[in-house]
Chain A
Amino acid sequence: MITKDTKISKMLAQYPQTLEVLINYSPNFSKLNNKILRKTLASRVNVEQAAGIAGVNLILLLNELNKSINSDDAVTVDQGIAEEEMINTDKPEILKNANPEKIQKFDVRPIIDSGKDPFLEIMAKIKSLDADEVLHLINSFEPIPLYSVLEKKGYDHWTEKEGNVYNVFFFKTADVDEQQKEEIETQQAEDVEYENMIELDVRQLVPPEPMMKILENISKVDDKTVMIVHHHREPMMLYPKLEERGYKAVTNKIEDNYYKVVITKKR
């Protein structure tokens, strides 16, 4: 049975059919279609957090998920959790008084859109912050998993939603003892699946050279390695060639004439 504490990654591994349920349930889950994002994001998120991220009702989602795996167990989740307001309303004093120069803006949407997980970059950003600085994170969904991770590092958060944009402010509340901090970091490092990355920029090449360059390097892509291709278009003719050789690709349009193609080995 799937509960609110079930990790999404575990659920997807055990019951692959639930992926479809999630995606059908809310378009916000469609990012899970992207294997890289799925692997990195889903391993940190449980069902409750996922429901919060997508802004859907937890109980209804759990019902759907359990239905799909034919679980007869009744869903017994405290109604209160589902109704719990995910977004705080009162702006904390510390933010109201914050010096605008001390607020570091970081828009992670381009990174998400390009099919990558911004987690490492966010952590790097946090690390570079001075004690009195605030990180202003801009994202297209609420980064709930981050809250607990950063909480351990002594950061509190305050989130406001503007249309489809979430503005999340992380600010230091209490000092965390250095040793404890290190422990957390090592633990985090193990949580995220580190992968090697091959980057190719084929934007200056005319067909069929982009395809040639990609296929010539494809043998370097394995279970731990991903290829990111900067392309001037969506490589429609490449997909069947990759398919033939046991690879798959996800393409994200970044802007006109700039696409990022993420190629991974099929499992």
Chain B
Amino acid sequence: MSEPTSIVSAYSPPFRIVSKYFIAAISSFVLLNLFLLLNHSFIAGHHFSPKILAITHIATLGWVTMIIFGALFQLIPVVLEVKLFSETLAEIQFWIYIVGAIGLVYCFWTFTTGMYMDISAILLNLVMYIFSFNIIMTFTRVKNWNITGLYLGGAIFYLIVTAIAGLLLAINLGTPYIKIDHLQYLSLHAHVAIIGWVSMVIMGVTYKLIPMFTLSHGFKLTFAKWAFWLINIGLLGINTIFHYKDTTFLYYVFIPMIALGILFFLIQVYMIFQKRMRRKLDIGLKFSSYAYLMLALTTILGSFIAFVDYENITNLTIIYGYMIIFGYLSMLIVGQMYKVVPFLVWYHKYSSKVGLEKVPLLKEMFNEKIALYGFYFMMTALFGSLFSLTFRNEIGLVISFSLMFLSSLIFSFNMVTIFKR
């Protein structure tokens, strides 16, 4: 079977389903940055505070996971050569998800524990079950498995673990029952979400999209396979030992496994970039390649946090979280969206007119120049925020958050331009 070499195929779902997720996610990204800017004074101290929890969930649910849902509905059929099990479920899921996500963020913001928070968490769980059911049913029809399918299978598993852990945490806030430290459980929830769910998806999809966008071939996927097993064994190990109290030794085994797995992933990405036929990196690939560098930095920071008693550097967890959400995830998503969305819209609107009338090139679909400014703003904001958080510099933080907000506005302006075509 030939390699999928385009993000559209005969199996693709209707464009309206995917675009709905993308538009909701892009709106969340702007909102996220606006909230950060307006509430910059709360972004300090211990990470376990209502405002930070609310903002984090705008990022993870509204922005990151929303984009992933839309992207996977588009990409799974292409990569695994199957039709989605149910497009209706993909549609229904969206609306429950919106209600659940807004509900949860509101409850965190006002710190309304109890029934409303629990209901939101239950709705979100429901969404994750619907999604997983839909994807697993889709998987049953797959004839040609590949490495991406393997990663996505893993991702689904961790999505469910994340959702259940999140629900238990939400209930625990209202009626405490967890015997072990709530924060230890929170760390489990966060790491399973970021490494298990989000990163598994990102890694699996990277192996397909980056070669596609850079015209790279002739590389072996050996590192990708090793990365998968290292990260999975590490994560499962951490999941197990988190339930016990004295876990220092195993900690020293599993954390390095995960870090090594991420390193292997990055080596694989490097190999793919090395073999590319298109030497020049356009704006989408520029964002993406820097995102992979940020992942490397974030992994180093994460490994450091895991082994060092950092309690006296209070902002360190916030810095770590900021690096994950903005340095790694947002840069990558923005980069990939600059590749995926123009193509989808182009295919949808123009592909049948080529040769008959004048149609735009992909890079003419949006303003590439301001996108480049968006890139520099985001990089500046990223390092500015890290600096300001480390040295507790309020003015620096306001400037950095403003730049990040500006960058998100440029991104959404470009995306709206594309969608309105």
Contacts and interface: CB of A to CB of B under 8 A. Distances in A.
Q: Do A and B actually bind?
A: yes
Interface of A: 203-204, 206-209, 211-212, 215-219, 232-234, 236-237, 241, 244-245, 256-257
Contacts of A216: 354-355
Contact of B8 (A203, A204, A215, A237): A237
B351 A211 contact: yes
Contacts of A257: 217-218
B347 A208 contact: yes
Nearest to A245: B355
A208 B278 contact: no
B5 A232 contact: yes
A118 B229 CA distance: 50
Given A232-B215, A236-B9, A236-B10, A208 B355 contact: no
B2 A236 contact: yes
A206 B354 contact: no
A234 B3 CA distance: 9
Contacts of A204: 215, 277-278
Contact of B6 (A212, A217, A237, A245): A237
Given A208-B351, A212-B361, A257-B218, 7 more contacts: A207-B5, A208-B362, A217-B355, A233-B2, A236-B6, A236-B9, A256-B217
B178 to A, nearest CB: 50
Give the interface centre of A208, A211, A234 by most chain B CB atoms within 10 Å: A208
Contacts of B352: 241, 244
Contacts, number: 63
Contacts of B354: 211-212, 215-216, 241
Contacts of B359: 212
B113 to A, nearest CB: 49
Nearest to A207: B6
B2 A209 contact: no
11 contacts: A208-B6, A209-B361, A212-B354, A212-B361, A217-B355, A236-B2, A237-B6, A237-B351, A244-B352, A256-B218, A257-B217
A237 B212 CA distance: 15
Contact of A215 (B278, B355, B362): B355
B343 interface: yes
A244 B3 CA distance: 24
B411 interface: no
B278 A206 contact: yes
A210 to B, nearest CB: 9
Interface in B1-58: 2-3, 5-10
Interface string B218-257: 1000000000000000000000000000000000000000
A60 to B, nearest CB: 35
A260 to B, nearest CB: 14
Interface in B275-295: 277-278
A211 B8 CA distance: 13
A232 B218 CA distance: 12
B213 interface: yes
Contacts of B277: 203-204, 232
Given A204-B277, A204-B278, A234 B2 contact: yes
A206 B346 CA distance: 13
A206 B215 contact: yes
Contacts of A206: 212-215, 278
Contact of B9 (A209, A212, A237, A241): A237
Nearest to A239: B10
| A-B CB proximity, top 4 nearest | A215-B355, A215-B354, A233-B5, A207-B6
Contacts of A244: 352
A209 B359 CA distance: 11
Interface string B350-374: 0110110001011000000000000
A219 B356 CA distance: 9
Contacts of A245: 355
Contacts of A241: 351-352, 354
B358 to A, nearest CB: 10
B3 A208 contact: no
Given A236-B9, A237-B9, A207 B343 contact: yes
